[in-house]
Amino acid sequence: MHRYDTIVVGSGFGGSVMAARLAQAGASVLVIERGPWWGQDDGDARTPFPRGARLGRFLRNVRVNRGRRSREIVLSRRGLFELHGFDGLWTLGASGVGGGSLVYANGQGVPTSDYWDVFPPELSSEDMAPHFKRADEVLRPTELPGWEHRRSDFAAALHASGTGEVGPVELAVTFGRDPSAPVTVRNDAGVAQQTCRQCGDCVLGCPHRSKNTLDLTYLPLALRAGAVIRPMSEVTSIASVSGGHRVRWVD
């Protein structure tokens, strides 16, 4: 039986940050992720994102929830997307090391101060500001290059719609000078990435490592600090035992 100070279930935005910071603080950390490593790789460690003939790995599972009842159909344990249906709502998530960061549209933003009004007084915009800053240092959001040339058209459209003042969304993407001439750079986690080609495949999984996803940022920091990541492993039970918890999973 293996023992760890902390077991993190899932490697998305919550799990990856927790794994990195706890490992850096000296804790022994195990991250359990039911999906695979995704993306291009010189070896066999990663699964290429589903394209063309590989679209059979597009969906991992479909889960339909009706009231207290839920039914799941697993199509491929190595699938990328999870489709969840609720009353009046369908959501699409991701399964893999890096979680939802693999397929989100990269937008990064800090909530306005009134967002925190519904939270306990211990959580405020001022209290959270240094934590957002620390996350920005890892995910490195920036504006889309060339935005200034489109600003006037965008502002005119906003004015016509009555929306008011809205600025550009910063994107957690590694941009270069010229999207037609990508170059390889190494990020602060020591991982090689290519600058963005602006190919538009962000929500299908970037095959060029241009997105600053969690598997290229926070999780390498966790690994460097001694954390262990188990892909293709799904937790089946968590039980309280003397002095801690017992976690069971299947590979």
Domains of the chain: 6-106+201-250 (3.50.50.60)
pLDDT of residue 145: 87
pLDDT of residue 156: 80
pTM for this prediction:
0.90
150: part of which helix (H) or strand (E)?
A: helix 147-161
- Nearest 5°: the CA angle 240, 13, 229 is 60
* CA 213 from centroid of its chain's CA atoms: 6
Under-70 pLDDT residues of the chain: 41-44, 53-56, 164
Residue 115 one-letter amino acid? Y
CA distance 55 to 216: 24
Q: Give the residue carrying structure tokens 């405020």.
A: 124
Q: Which one-letter DSSP state was computed for residue 152?
A: H
**What Å distances lie between residue 112 and 13, 116, 126, 129, 135, CA to CA?**
20, 8, 11, 11, 17
Question: How many CB atoms are closer than 10 A to CB 184?
Answer: 12
pLDDT of residue 153: 79
pLDDT of residue 159: 79
